[in-house]
């Protein structure tokens, strides 16, 4: 059985965006595209209705492209348990109040038992300084937190030539 990966909005945004002239952003875009090519064979891909709503906002053509990319991803609803966990993450300072949607992404992934939350959001999700609080908040509510990571961390190299 394949592990489940929750696709946060930043991933689909990097996947479908026009090529950036910023070298870091361009690298994230290329890493995302490389990961996405193999992801459906390695993971069960899911996203919340929140991701769909965020991806559908903004420029109509860009939104259409983002939504098309999400077409093969299984949508998850935000159950009351996820709403409660998101509120707890905010109330206990694991995620800032102004980033309540980011808390919702984490909570939805945790309440569905998703193994990986894939994101490029370093501010409030893939943030080493906040990780312990996020994990503690999830566990305190009775949920195992997802492994929060970037597409880069889930790339598999060809280990055929590896020594050892």
**pTM score of the predicted model:** 0.92
Q: Is residue 159 part of a domain?
A: no
Q: Is residue 161 part of a domain?
A: no
Q: What is the dihedral of CA 101, 106, 109, 114, to 10 degrees?
A: 150
Domain count, the chain: 1
The CATH number for 129's domain is 3.40.50.1010
Q: What is the pLDDT of residues 119-135, one digit of tens each?
A: 999 999 999 999 999 99
**pLDDT-based confidence at residue 164 (cuts at 50, 70, 90):** very low
d(CA 137, CA 145): 9
Range of the domain at 140: 4-154
Q: Is residue 10 part of a domain?
A: yes
Q: Is residue 83 part of a domain?
A: yes
Q: What is the pLDDT of residues 29-79, one digit of tens each?
A: 999 999 999 999 999 999 999 999 999 999 999 999 999 999 999 999 889
Q: Is residue 162 part of a domain?
A: no
């Amino acid at each position: 059985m394949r592990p489940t990966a929750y696709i946060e909005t930043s991933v689909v945004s990097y996947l479908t965006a026009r090529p950036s002239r910023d070298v870091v952003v361009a690298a994230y875009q290329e890493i995302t595209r490389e990961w996405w090519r193999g992801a459906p064979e390695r993971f069960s891909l899911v996203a919340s209705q929140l991701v769909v709503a965020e991806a559908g906002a903004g420029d109509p053509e860009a939104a259409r492209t983002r939504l098309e990319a999400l077409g093969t991803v299984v949508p998850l609803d935000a159950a009351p348990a996820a709403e409660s966990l998101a509120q707890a993450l905010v109330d206990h300072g694991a995620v800032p109040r102004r980033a309540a949607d980011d808390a919702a992404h984490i909570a939805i992934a945790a309440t569905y038992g998703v193994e990986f939350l894939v994101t490029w959001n370093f501010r409030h999700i893939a943030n080493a300084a906040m990780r312990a609080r996020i994990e503690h908040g999830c566990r305190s509510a009775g949920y195992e937190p997802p492994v929060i990571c970037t597409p880069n961390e889930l790339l598999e190299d060809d280990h055929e030539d590896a020594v050892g």
